[in-house]
């Protein structure tokens, strides 16, 4: 476990709207494009005129903990949101492949200590083949707003219209050194959130990293306190995208 800021990855966007710095790249399927991404914040990647359907390469996943990039797709907009994982090194390029239904693009993403970045990939050849009636991907999806609203509901005791809250009150297996207790669940049509109490039951101080709570479908994590003394507790908020429900 490594020290980190209180809110990480998409959760870092839940309290404020980021000021995205914009990079527009001309890309081709047979060439490699390079871009910078934020080291400690979320960056956004989109392909002009096409939806991203898959990302592979050095991507973090439960079955690939050595992956250098955490990826959260937004199926509604066809964009992805990315952040370097704990395995990434500042200044060391991360190699990924971004796939649309028309082509696959090779990207080298260099994490540097800058604010959130937006990377727009523009394939002029692919765009020229689109029918005139083709609709462009929405430039300003409400995905982050939905996640932000869910986190605000989780951190508030007040009921919110359109959200279903359920008291749970059951232990959940986590680590031998911790007691993890699910307190409450909140859901709407697209997202499911949960509130947990985490207690350090070991005799040593515990340092938490929000990335340890990311799993398939998780789009945001918030930890109130990232350093716990023995017998000290904190709340953990986890937001997932509902799929196939």
Q: What confidence tens digit (pLDDT) does each residue in 110-155 have? A: 999 888 888 989 887 765 554 443 434 334 356 777 888 888 888 8
Whether residues 90 and 119 share a domain: the answer is yes
213 and 122 fall within a common domain: no
Q: Is the pLDDT of residue 54 over 80?
A: yes
Is 52 inside any structural domain?
A: yes
- Number of separate domains in the chain: 2
Domain interval for residue 107: 17-130
Residues 236 and 162 in one domain: yes
Please indicate, yes or no, whether residues 45 and 100 belong to a single structural domain of this protein: yes
Strand partners, 73: 80
- pLDDT band of residue 4 (cuts 50, 70, 90) is very low
**The pTM of the whole model exceeds 0.85:** no
Measured between alpha carbons, how far is 20 from 33 in angstroms, rounded to an integer? 19
The DSSP output letter for 11 is G
Q: What is the pLDDT of residues 59-105, one digit of tens each?
A: 988 778 889 999 888 877 888 889 999 889 999 999 999 998 888 99
| pLDDT the model gives residue 215 | 74
Sheet of strand 191-200: strand arrangement: 7-8, 218-223, 233-241, 191-200, 178-187, 164-172
Burial class of residue 149 in the structure, from the number of CB atoms within 10 Å of its CB (0-12 exposed, 13-18 middle, 19+ buried): middle
> In the predicted model, what is the mean pLDDT of residues 163-179?
88
Q: Comparing 128-132, 148-152, 157-161, 191-195, which segment has the lowest mean pLDDT? A: 128-132
Cα 179 from Cα 175, distance rounded (Å): 8
Whether 102 and 50 have beta carbons less than 8 Å apart is answered as yes
């Amino acid at each position: 476990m490594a020290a980190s800021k209180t809110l990480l990855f998409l959760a870092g966007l839940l309290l404020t709207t980021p000021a995205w710095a914009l990079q527009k790249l001309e890309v081709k399927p047979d060439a490699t494009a390079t871009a910078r991404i934020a080291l400690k914040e979320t960056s956004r990647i989109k392909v002009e005129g096409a939806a991203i359907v898959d990302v592979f390469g050095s991507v973090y996943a439960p079955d690939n903990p050595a992956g250098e990039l955490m990826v959260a797709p937004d199926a509604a907009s066809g964009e992805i949101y990315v952040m370097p994982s704990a395995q990434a090194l500042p200044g060391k390029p991360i190699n990924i492949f971004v796939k649309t239904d028309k082509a696959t693009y090779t990207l080298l993403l260099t994490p540097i200590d800058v604010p959130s970045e937006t990377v727009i990939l523009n394939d002029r050849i692919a765009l020229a083949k689109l029918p005139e009636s083709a609709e462009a991907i929405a430039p300003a999806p409400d995905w982050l707003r939905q996640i932000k609203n869910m986190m605000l509901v989780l951190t508030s005791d007040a009921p919110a219209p359109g959200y279903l809250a359920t008291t749970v009150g059951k232990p959940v297996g986590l680590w031998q050194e911790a007691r993890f207790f699910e307190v409450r669940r909140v859901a709407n049509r697209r997202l499911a959130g949960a509130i947990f109490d985490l207690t350090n039951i070991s005799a040593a101080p515990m340092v938490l990293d929000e990335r340890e709570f990311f799993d398939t479908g998780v789009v945001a994590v918030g930890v109130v306190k990232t350093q716990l003394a023995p017998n000290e507790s904190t709340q953990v908020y986890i937001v997932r995208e509902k799929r196939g429900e």
